[in-house]
Structures are given as C-alpha cells and as structure tokens.
Amino acid sequence: MLVIFDWDGTLIDSTGKIVACMQQAAKDAGIAPRSVADIRNIIGLGLDEALLRLYPEQAADLRASIRQHYSARFVAADQTPCEFFPGVMESLDWLRAQGVPLAVATGKSRRGLDRVLGNLRMSYYFQGSRCADETASKPNPLMLNQLCEEFKVNANSAVFVGDTEYDLEMAHRIGMPSVGVSYGVHEPARLANWQPLQILDDFSALLPLVAERYGMAKP
C-alpha cells in the first residue's frame, strides 16, 4: 500500500506562479518569453529538461541563466504560498488517519520541495519523496522505482496521482496504477493516453477509489 502524488498542479495550484516566473526569467536573461501554453506544457519536468524543451535553439549558458533567474523569481514569489486545490487537505487528513503511506514524486528540486513543505508545515503528511534533481526527470520512472524500494512495495501495489502526461507515462512504464486529475495543466485527452484508473474532476473523489483498492471502509 502506497499513494504517491505529484505536487504542482495536482495538490497545489501553482501553475500561474510557475508561468509568470518563467516568462519573467526569460526577460531577465534578455530573450523573448515563451507563451503561456508552451510553459504549461513543460510543467512537471525537471527544470533543466523543461528549459531544453522551451529553448532548444539557445546555448547551454543562456539556458543556465534563465534557470538562475527562474529560481530566484520563484523563491521570491513563493514567500506567499500557493493554495491547495479544493478537497486536498481534507483528503490527505483522511488518508493519514487510515494509515495509508503517502509520498511525493515531483519535478521540483529538493530545495524547492523542502522549502514549500516547511512553509506549509506539510512534512508530517509524507513519509517519502523524490525530486527531479536527485534522480531522473519524469517521465523516466526512476523516482517511482526508488520510492517503491524505500517503502518495500511492488509497483502494482502503489497508486500514483498526477495532472500531466509525464506523470501518467512514468507510472505506466513500470506498471503502476495511476489516477489523473483534470484540473491541472494537461487536458484529460492527453492523460487518457496512459490508461489511468480514473481521471478525476474533484480531488476528494480519490478517497473511495483508494478505499476500494486497499479494502478499506469508504469515506
């Protein structure tokens, strides 16, 4: 038993902040920013992989400059924490009360995830986590494999919840059941390509699915 969550766009509504900081970082580096749609498309990837997709024609040193500016912009903006999507906190409380182990697998950096967990006092909820700068970026499934090893569960005994096709492809590649959420950055048709158990419009709809899967009384 293990439920693993993506962070941005799945638990927390940070898309607007990510887009704004990425566009401003490009301006800071002296180049034209990419469109909102282009930036939304790369959310979920590790930052280096995201910048390579956004600016494949630019030299590595310029992408490094954008990366530095983005990190500074995001840290400053994140002093005001993003809000959780409706139903997230109540659902996490219920899962913890049932003794379900919870983890995070994210494209954020370790420093970034630790900062936001600390600011929101959320470390208590998650017994494990993996970040893109300490393993491989999504959709490589390495971070999920590592979490399964840490929790001593098989991939098909866990469930991964995410809002992008990178999330669901990552789970699909190791046979881990997945659940998509429709309110994130990738539209449901893209999520459906990776055969999730369900695509949810409401985060709290995850609870009966988890309860049924693990033989618990439904909330």
pLDDT in tens, 29-46: 999 999 999 999 999 999
For residues 54 and 124, state if they share a domain: no
Please list the ranges in the chain whose pLDDT falls under 70. Answer: none
Catalytic residue numbers, as ranges: 6, 8
Q: Could you tell me the pTM of the whole model?
A: 0.94
User: Is residue 219 in a domain?
Assistant: no
Give strand pairing partners of 152.
none
Q: For residue 36, what are the CA distances in angstroms to 33, 40, 82, 153?
A: 9, 6, 18, 38
Per the CB < 8 A criterion, the answer to whether 92 and 125 are in contact is yes
Q: How many domains does the chain have?
A: 2
**Which of residues 45, 77, 109 is at a domain's end?**
77
Give the residue from 163, 218, 207, 216 showing the smallest Cα distance to 3: 207
Q: How far is CA 167 from CA 31, 33, 91, 176, 208, in A?
A: 30, 25, 20, 11, 21
Query: What is the pLDDT, as a whole number, of residue 12?
Result: 96
pLDDT of residue 79: 87
Same domain, 27 and 123: no
Question: Quick check: is 131 in a domain?
Answer: yes
Please give the residue range of the domain that contains residue 193. Answer: 2-13+83-213
Inside any domain, residue 60 = yes
- Report the CATH number at residue 206: 3.40.50.1000
